[in-house]
Amino acid sequence: MGRSSDVPRELRLAAFRGSDAVAAGLLTWSRLRCGGWRRLFTDVYVSADLRLDHRLWCEAAIVHTRRAPGVAVSGLSAALLMGADLLPVGGCPVTLTVPPSIRVSSPHLVVVRSRLAAADIVTVSRLPVTSPARTAFDVARSLPRIDAVSAVDALLHRRIVTMTQARAYAAALRRGSRRAGTIFDLADEGAGSPMETRLRLCLVDAGLPCPETQVRVLSADGSLIGRVDLAYRKQRIGIEYEGDHHRAPTAFRHDIARVNAMHEAGWIIVRVTADDIRYPANLLRQLRALLSTRPSIMAA
């Protein structure tokens, strides 16, 4: 069987080229076809025991290119390998940046043809990956506006890159730098999730002031009650996105106690769901009314 214990450990734990394994006498073609292995790309296999996640697809994609110089995992695939998972539900193809001279294609790949400088490639989990600054630049210039801001927010929030680094990288290039700069202007490292980013942009696009992110709310004696996702600090208006994790009994009880304490401190907390972001008319009307009736209440 292909999963036999006599198969070398490096084949059972990583992607490999079938022809190389056969040439080295580690496997035979008949054993590769026996069902203990998955073929991800032409001549690229992984053990059927491995969990087939995006990281493994990235590894297989690099093996598929024979680790050619100048090739790197990029875009949202690079962001995931660095700790910012922004992939759509159900997954997506691996994004690879390759030199123009390299010919590679697959339904499982999004290929970006571009020459990367040596400084643009770093090693993450033994794989060549575009550097944090290059990754921020790539997602900022190539993704749809909201997705691009969400991706840059996540990279900033997780301290993968700083805004100074991202802006400096974009300023050194010409092609795409203007579009990237526009996205960087909208980014905020305080955004804790893509839905918080979407909520913030929803308000800004409707003409409301840009709210602050991750604002501390204090009690009358100066002790910390908690943080709110978004806030208009002077008006003491907090805006909280309610994701599914808030539905757990313990989280629900904690949220009630926290919001009640914020109310006691003079804050109004507006709780927002995904439907409010999709159909924001009522939310926007409520916030405009609150901002007009609470023009300047200095927060504690």
Does 114 share its domain with 212?
A: no
Question: What pLDDT is stored for residue 248 in this prediction?
Answer: 54
- Report the predicted TM-score, pTM, of the whole model to 2 decimal places: 0.88
Region 125-141: mean pLDDT is: 97
Does 198 share its domain with 171?
A: no
Question: What pLDDT is stored for residue 97 in this prediction?
Answer: 98
Residue type, 50: L
- 46, with CB counted inside 10 A (0-12, 13-18, 19+), is buried
- On the question of pLDDT at 93 being above 80, the answer is yes
The closest alpha carbon to 117, from 133, 103, 104, belongs to 133
pLDDT band at 6 (very low <50, low <70, confident <90, very high): low
* Mode of pairing for the β-strands spanning 212-218 and 72-73: unpaired
Number of folded domains in the chain?
3
Does 127 share its domain with 232?
A: no
Does 76 share its domain with 171?
A: yes
CA distance 199 to 229: 10
CA distance 66 to 279: 48
Region 16-38: mean pLDDT is: 90
Does 143 share its domain with 182?
A: yes
pLDDT band at 34 (very low <50, low <70, confident <90, very high): confident
pLDDT, one tens digit per residue, over 226-282 is 999 999 999 999 999 987 555 555 667 777 888 999 999 999 999 999 999 999 999
Q: Is residue 300 part of a domain?
A: no
CA 32, 33, 35, 41 torsion-angle sign: positive
- Residue with more model confidence, 138 or 242: 138
Does 13 share its domain with 124?
A: no
pLDDT band at 91 (very low <50, low <70, confident <90, very high): confident
Q: Is residue 120 part of a domain?
A: yes
Does 229 share its domain with 176?
A: no
Does 171 share its domain with 80?
A: yes
Tokens of 6: 């006599």
Residue 16 sits in which domain range? 9-47
Q: Is residue 299 part of a domain?
A: no
The closest alpha carbon to 213, from 223, 201, 222, belongs to 201
Count of C-beta atoms within a 10 Å radius of residue 184 = 20
